[in-house]
Chain A
């Protein structure tokens, strides 16, 4: 049985799930369309369910979900897509490339190749609207988060921090180091869902030149 604990009076957490199993189970919970549930948020190894405590209390919701999520639900295979995302590593966009190079002791070309050479899992979506946490990156590219986060990172920026790379899909402040930029608008507030990429999907970056960026 899945271990579910309360966190305060308005959240329950499904704990200790296998890597990205959370993506499948969270979809199962959403399918139930429980009116008490406000939001289902899937992380790498856990799920948080935010509910309305005027409608239900955590002990009853825990039982309800434990009763519904059986082993066969979890074993279901979900089809994950692969997305090819164009990226430009030109210094105009890769505003932190010098810092990254200094820290990793790799030259620009090596950094680019190491970033391009892997396919990444979409581990988490969120924190910021549409932000994609992708992992894991090549160990030689590990850089810590900045001590002084930038106050504004342009939409489309691709960044790295520790073992992850990520895509900022809105303009926002942030503490990751910018390695490049994609011309794609992956988060569209006029659409539901606003982003087509799902947790568990795979991302492969392919390089485009600065000249092609504007016409993309």
Chain B
């Protein structure tokens, strides 16, 4: 018998993502990968898998899945209501599954996305060296698309793993009025209405997706509207659009942009930013590149010493 899972209900938007697709931006193919890398990595840790391994990224409201083999699963990211054969289960820990079990993932409660991993490995072909789904050109994942009702995913290489729980020092809390740290961008000298950074708040527009988070409620004015030369951008780059509203580029974003760069979100804060729900507010706090690098080193050390995980792998 084959090891498979079967999608009984598809949910809002569930796609297969591994940590990243690199080396193809020069052809215009984005990095893709999870919006919230932090939760992705911790979900894989719960299953003793490489931090880069593929899993399901579940957005807003999840799928109902029948699992046709004995395995282990883990869910982490947004808090959400999850049922296994109609009994409530917890996220943030490894859970044993018996063949025939039905997993029902409902609404994401305090954030946007939750990640579902399996101790077994998905049998999928890589495109451009990654299993990440990018549906615009239908690559990665299952047939290059989000998961649909009646889809079946095959697994191989059954691995057994010890059950684990996310330590409390790694739990993240998603709240209102989040402060997001930013390094000023290469065109920040064009900005002329940002003197009171403590008082300026932005709302995350519901019109945000895996390509970018659109910010509304405060329009940025420039002292120079002349065209800029196209520049390279990546996940976390904040561009000022023509109407003054910023857009923060995310996993499926393009690699070049003709809009002025307001700033770049610190690497360490991109994951929690991705989980801020539509219509909630954020505030930027400027820090230096040096400070951001310190945060990166601190995080790397924390994962290494407490979870024995190498973030540079």
Tell whether, in the assembled complex, residue B256 and residue A124 are in contact, meaning their CB atoms are under 8 Å apart: yes
Q: Closest residue to A199 on the B side, CB-wise?
A: B26
B28 touching A40 by the CB < 8 A rule? no
Task: Report how far A7 CA is from B266 CA in the complex, Å.
Answer: 11
Q: Which of B183, B229, B261, B311 contacts A9 (CB 8 A)?
A: B183
User: What's the nearest-Cβ distance from chain A to residue B274, in Å?
Assistant: 15
A129 touches B137 (CB 8 A): yes
Does A9 lie within 8 Å of B127, measured CB to CB? no
Q: Within 8 Å CB of A67, what residues of B?
A: none
User: Is A189 touching B25 in the complex (CB atoms < 8 A)?
Assistant: no
B23 at the interface (CB under 8 A from A): yes
Asked if A7 meets B232 with Cβ closer than 8 Å, knowing A13-B186, A39-B22, the reply is yes
Closest chain A residue to B230 by CB distance? Answer: A43
Known: A8-B236, A9-B267, A170-B136. A126 touches B26 (CB 8 A): yes
Select one of B233, B254, B296 contacting A53, CB under 8 A: B296
A128 touching B254 by the CB < 8 A rule? Answer: yes
Number of A-B contacts defined by CB within 8 Å = 138
Chain A: interface residue total (CB-CB under 8 A): 44
Mark A127-139 against chain B: 1 for CB-CB distance below 8 A, else 0: 1111100000000
Q: Are B256 and A9 in contact (CB under 8 A)?
A: no
Instruction: Determine whether the beta carbon of B26 is less than 8 Å from that of A9.
Output: no
* B293 and A53 within 8 A (CB): yes
A125 at the interface (CB under 8 A from B): yes
Q: Which of B237, B256, B265, B292 has the most CB of A within 10 A?
A: B256
Contact with B along A22-49 (1 / 0, CB 8 A): 0000100000000000111111111110
CB distance B264 to A43 under 8 Å? no
Interchain CB contact under 8 A, A13 and B267: no
Check A189–B127 contact: CB distance below 8 A: yes
Q: Measuring CB to CB, which residues of chain B are less than 8 angstroms from any residue of chain A?
A: 20, 22-29, 31, 127-128, 136-139, 183, 185-186, 229-237, 254-256, 261, 263-267, 289, 292-293, 296, 300, 311-312
What are 27 A-B pairs at a CB distance below 8 A? A8-B263, A8-B264, A8-B289, A9-B289, A10-B236, A11-B237, A13-B186, A38-B23, A39-B255, A43-B229, A46-B229, A46-B231, A50-B232, A52-B312, A53-B293, A54-B296, A54-B312, A58-B289, A128-B28, A129-B136, A129-B137, A130-B27, A172-B136, A189-B127, A190-B127, A192-B128, A195-B27
Top-4 shortest CB links A-B: A48-B232, A8-B264, A126-B28, A39-B25
A interface residues (Cβ-Cβ under 8 A, vs B) = 5-11, 13, 26, 38-48, 50, 52-55, 57-58, 124-131, 170, 172, 187, 189-190, 192-195
